[in-house]
Chains A and B, each alone.
Chain A
């Protein structure tokens, strides 16, 4: 396995289960950045994010023989990290004696990809839409992130968030439709304002 960096997740996972340290390291290197980014969305700028990621991989290595054979590695890692962070958060809540029953919250804000904007109209539209997306409830925002940024499937997201897959796709569809309606409305308003000022 000299060229592990080029192998697919599936093959690396298989080797990892058999105790291949290089496969383990390759997957670690491949997904570390994505995991830090996802973890930071729950506990921004915290050392605990890194601790949690390391712990996830420690468990994977120690219990490699009992790992499932067929997993989508990225979804599995994101899911493990989420669970572990939720547990950490719960423990802290007990110590801090707060009464909140909320799960960990996805706080990441999306930004606008300026580099792909070529004209003012696109810019106004994208900025507007971006504002609306960022106002979504954390769960919905997280679903958008997992689906459209990390590329997870509906089923994988359902398993991660512990809800039925049909409700994931419903939520997703409804959120997108709702946003579109608001956005189009807002944009018409904006358009009229611009016209009115001319």
Chain B
């Protein structure tokens, strides 16, 4: 494809997706406005191309989601008819539950009163739970003043906040993944429905199948808060015997739960936009966007470096002209790197050594 400085025909502009997006949807990702203003000759061509786009509107009749779903069902029906003998019926798990991911935030705020009343209780369940199964657990304590990246054997990644501790096995055996947290961490869990992931944080157990979430569980805070952004997460208490509410609490997007450690009770909040304390304290990784539209790969690496506090080495010259459109939201770090490498082409892969990431590539295709 030509560089836009070399555009001399109207069709060069019309076939440039970023140009169309600028004119039609006012999304100027490539700085078209500035580029146009740089010289009057350009302005003239841009003006004509604009009229072309105005004259070529396509009226796509909007189709309701319901109709699309109906068409999809019909399609599966046809597939089943064709392959009736060979195929089993459509699995039940092809339902909405499956399609979502969750962001959970658990925060704990302990009042002085509580601290005085039940100093013993505060020691919490974490140490006991941990003790039971702590053989072979790796313990990471972050004594630095910035978040620390931890990658687990299953490809999940965690940003552990200062003064926080995470215990986890070297590799996850059996059909469960369990880790223990004291303090605060941002979790991005690799998706594996056959091996649910559990985080034990004080009295609260968070069960996820694959998602990203934040847990804040400093030992001197009163409440446990769980906030779900997208997806489904199930919350229970390890103190179930004393609990009024015995069942697990299921959280859907934009719902939250507050667990009172004193009353051992869950309070469910169904609209978290109305509860500012929940939505406010976002960390930097939660504020960064991982939605990239035609972005230089260099910039994507910068974003990753910033989010995970890692260093990425890559062949800058070879990747100079590589632009990617991809979504890396809600993927653990190894998965993010894998997607970027796959998008760059067959000859690209990465190596990771602690906070150092090396990209090996011959450029993109």
Contact = CB atoms under 8 A, between A and B. Distances in A.
Contacts of A28: 68, 71-72, 75
Given A2-B330, A110-B58, A129 B78 contact: no
A178 interface: no
Contacts of A40: 61
Interface string A11-44: 1000000000110010011001110110010000
A73 interface: no
B99 A2 contact: yes
A6 B292 CA distance: 10
Interface in B181-213: 191, 209-211
B58 A37 contact: yes
A3 B330 contact: yes
B327 A110 contact: no
Nearest to A116: B54
B98 A22 contact: yes
Given A32-B71, A58-B78, A176-B9, A147 B52 contact: no
Given A22-B98, A58-B82, A147-B14, A53 B54 contact: no
A61 interface: yes
Interface in B309-331: 325-327, 329-331
Contact of A113 (B53, B75, B78, B99): B53
A50 interface: yes
Nearest to A175: B11
Interface string B2-29: 0000000111001101001001100000
B56 interface: yes
Given A2-B211, A32-B63, A62 B79 contact: yes
Contacts of B9: 173, 176
B240 to A, nearest CB: 28
B120 interface: no
Given A8-B327, A144-B56, A149-B58, A180 B211 contact: no
B23 A116 contact: yes
A110 B83 contact: no
Interface string A46-67: 0000100111011001100000
A151 B100 CA distance: 30
A108 B57 CA distance: 11
A145 to B, nearest CB: 7
Contacts of B231: 2
A182 to B, nearest CB: 13
Contacts of B226: none
Given A25-B72, A57-B75, A147 B24 contact: no
Interface string B98-136: 111100000000000000000000000000000000000
A117 interface: yes
A95 B1 CA distance: 46
B58 A29 contact: no
B36 to A, nearest CB: 16
Contact of B11 (A32, A36, A147): A147
A122 B42 CA distance: 18
B94 A25 contact: yes
Contact of A110 (B15, B55, B100, B101): B55
B249 to A, nearest CB: 20
B343 A10 contact: yes
Contact of B326 (A8, A32, A127): A8
A126 B50 CA distance: 9
A7 B291 CA distance: 10
Contact of A54 (B53, B58, B74): B74
Contacts of B52: 129, 148
A148 B210 CA distance: 39
Contacts of A107: none
A125 to B, nearest CB: 5
A2 B98 contact: yes
The 9 A-B residue pairs with the shortest CB-CB distance, nearest first, are A6-B327, A130-B55, A2-B101, A129-B55, A113-B57, A126-B54, A37-B60, A148-B14, A126-B55
Interface of A: 1-8, 10-11, 21-22, 25, 28-29, 32-34, 36-37, 40, 50, 53-55, 57-58, 61-62, 108, 110-113, 116-117, 122, 125-127, 129-130, 133, 144-145, 147-149, 151, 172-173, 176, 180
Interface of B: 9-11, 14-15, 17, 20, 23-24, 48, 50-63, 68, 71-72, 74-75, 78-79, 82-83, 91, 94, 98-101, 191, 209-211, 230-231, 291, 325-327, 329-331, 339, 342-343
Given A1-B191, A3-B101, A144-B56, 18 more contacts: A5-B99, A6-B330, A11-B339, A11-B343, A25-B94, A28-B68, A28-B75, A33-B60, A54-B78, A62-B79, A110-B57, A129-B52, A129-B55, A130-B56, A133-B55, A148-B56, A149-B56, A176-B10
